[in-house]
């Protein structure tokens, strides 16, 4: 597609008084450049202010450059490091003795975590992964006395017959194939952004079922930074939606309004500063497909807002500073028949580039 710059004149608003006065004393070209410079400067200042807002929150809530960690930050580091081992164990031919650094770091993080918070699911997944790592080593004649000691100190191996929650799991192709939708194209083609809903309530069990499905979304080192805030009460929905600019004419018909967020405490480095939007966006897409699979209608609602709107909505909705809002989602039952926007897709050749 052409990258030519287009000047929009036909739809420009009527000339302001100030501009009209300037146009009497300045040549048209000079005035145009002046206005352009003024607009660009205002945009740069607004971008810098909003960028600083994001930066301040990332500095405050991510664990980048921090020694003192919250439980969520420490749990994210435990997860990151046990998952490094899970990934290694999931290779076709893991290298015996791989990941010594990750093992050492995981053991020290687990010591810190368990001392403060005990053995919860996160710690258990870490311990089970150490156990799987040790078992893999043994099959190659390697002993890891420091891992033996850590497992013993952290509470020991799983009791016989209790399934582990870390390490690897066996999967077979036939099971994956059997679970595929009968008509994959139709499943994708029948998901539309829905802007008219039936009156019936969507119950919380259905939302919970969809969220559970969406929890299968991949995330960076399995950190799962996402959260879903659900609003059902008419007044609450109205207030939350009043900060969003794309729901006019249908937001009030949604049975549930979801606000998808990403908790910055899951991110650990400067390089991960944009990861919250990526993982949160992937999760939101899964959630929409999960709701679609359950026969519900959804419309994603952008959260492309400036910091003042973000702050005001989060205060109203009770969403804390450590959570970045990814988007809202309107959810409702489908009417028997409805219209949806055509939303033409680009030709495949524009999207799919074979190298």
Ligand X SMILES: Cc1cc2nc3c(=O)[nH]c(=O)nc-3n(C[C@H](O)[C@H](O)[C@H](O)COP(=O)(O)O)c2cc1C
The H-or-E segment that residue 277 falls in is helix 275-293
> Does residue 299 touch ligand X according to CB under 6 A?
yes
Query: Which residue is closest to ligand X by CB?
Result: 246
> Does residue 341 touch ligand X according to CB under 6 A?
yes
CB of 251 to ligand X, least distance (A): 9
Nearer to ligand X, 77 or 327 (CB): 327
CA atoms of 226 and 326, how far apart (whole Å): 9
CB of 240 to ligand X, least distance (A): 13
Site for ligand X in 132-191 (CB under 6 A): none
Nearer to ligand X, 264 or 288 (CB): 288
Stretch that binds ligand X, among 46-54, 171-179, 313-321, 337-345 (CB under 6 A): 337-345
- State the residue for tokens 């740069």: 44
Q: Which token pair is 214?
A: 């969406």
295: left (phi over 0), alpha (psi -120 to 50) or beta: left
Site for ligand X in 1-30 (CB under 6 A): none
User: Could you say which DSSP state residue 167 is in?
Assistant: S
CB of 225 to ligand X, least distance (A): 17
Q: Which token pair is 73?
A: 């930050």
CB of 76 to ligand X, least distance (A): 25
> What character string, x for contact with ligand X (CB under 6 A) and - otherwise, covers 241-270?
-----x------------------------
CA atoms of 109 and 103, how far apart (whole Å): 10
**Count of CB atoms situated within 10 Å of the CB of 30:** 11
CA atoms of 299 and 247, how far apart (whole Å): 9
> Does residue 324 touch ligand X according to CB under 6 A?
no
Nearer to ligand X, 206 or 247 (CB): 247
Nearer to ligand X, 246 or 335 (CB): 246
CB of 250 to ligand X, least distance (A): 7
CA atoms of 264 and 61, how far apart (whole Å): 6
Question: Under 8 Å CB-to-CB from 180, ≥6 apart: which residues?
Answer: none
**Widest CA span of the chain, in angstroms?**
89
Stretch that binds ligand X, among 11-19, 22-30, 289-297, 336-344 (CB under 6 A): 336-344
Nearer to ligand X, 112 or 192 (CB): 192
34 in Cβ contact with 27 (< 8 Å): no
Kindly tell me which residue out of 157, 168, 193, 215 binds ligand X, with binding defined by CB under 6 A. Answer: 193
Nearer to ligand X, 41 or 245 (CB): 245
141 in Cβ contact with 161 (< 8 Å): no
CA atoms of 346 and 219, how far apart (whole Å): 28
Provide the binding-site residues for ligand X, judged by CB under 6 A.
Answer: 192-193, 195, 246, 299-302, 327, 340-341, 343
């Amino acid at each position: 597609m052409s990258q030519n710059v287009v000047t929009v004149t036909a739809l420009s608003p009527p000339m302001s008084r100030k501009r009209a006065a300037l146009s009497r004393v300045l040549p048209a070209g000079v005035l145009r450049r002046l206005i352009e410079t003024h607009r660009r400067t205002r945009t740069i200042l607004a971008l810098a202010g909003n960028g600083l807002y994001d930066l301040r929150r990332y500095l405050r809530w991510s664990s980048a450059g921090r020694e003192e960690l919250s439980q969520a930050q420490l749990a994210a580091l435990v997860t990151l490091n046990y998952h490094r081992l899970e990934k290694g164990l999931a290779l076709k031919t893991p290298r015996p003795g791989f990941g010594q650094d990750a093992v050492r770091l995981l053991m020290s993080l687990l010591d810190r975590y368990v001392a403060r918070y005990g053995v919860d699911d996160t710690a258990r997944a870490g311990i089970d992964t150490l156990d799987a790592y040790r078992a893999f080593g043994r099959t190659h004649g390697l002993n890891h006395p420091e891992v033996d000691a850590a497992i013993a100190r952290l509470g020991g191996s799983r009791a016989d017959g209790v399934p582990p929650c870390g390490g690897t799991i066996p999967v077979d192709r036939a099971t994956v194939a059997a679970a595929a939708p009968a008509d994959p194209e139709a499943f994708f083609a029948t998901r539309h952004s829905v802007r008219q809903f039936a009156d019936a309530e969507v119950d919380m069990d259905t939302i919970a079922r969809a969220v559970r499905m969406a929890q299968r979304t991949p995330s960076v080192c399995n950190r799962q930074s996402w959260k879903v805030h659900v609003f059902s009460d008419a007044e609450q929905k109205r207030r939350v939606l009043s900060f969003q600019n794309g729901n006019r004419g249908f937001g009030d018909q949604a049975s549930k309004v979801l606000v998808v967020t990403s908790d910055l405490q899951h991110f650990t480095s400067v390089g991960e500063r944009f990861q919250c939007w990526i993982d949160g966006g992937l999760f939101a897409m899964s959630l929409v497909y999960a709701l679609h699979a359950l026969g519900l209608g959804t419309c994603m609602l952008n959260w492309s807002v400036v910091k003042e709107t973000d702050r005001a909505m989060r205060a109203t909705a009770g969403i804390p500073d450590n959570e970045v809002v990814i988007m809202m989602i309107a959810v409702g039952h489908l009417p028997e028949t409805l219209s949806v926007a055509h939303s033409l897709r680009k030709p495949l050749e524009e999207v799919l580039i074979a190298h």
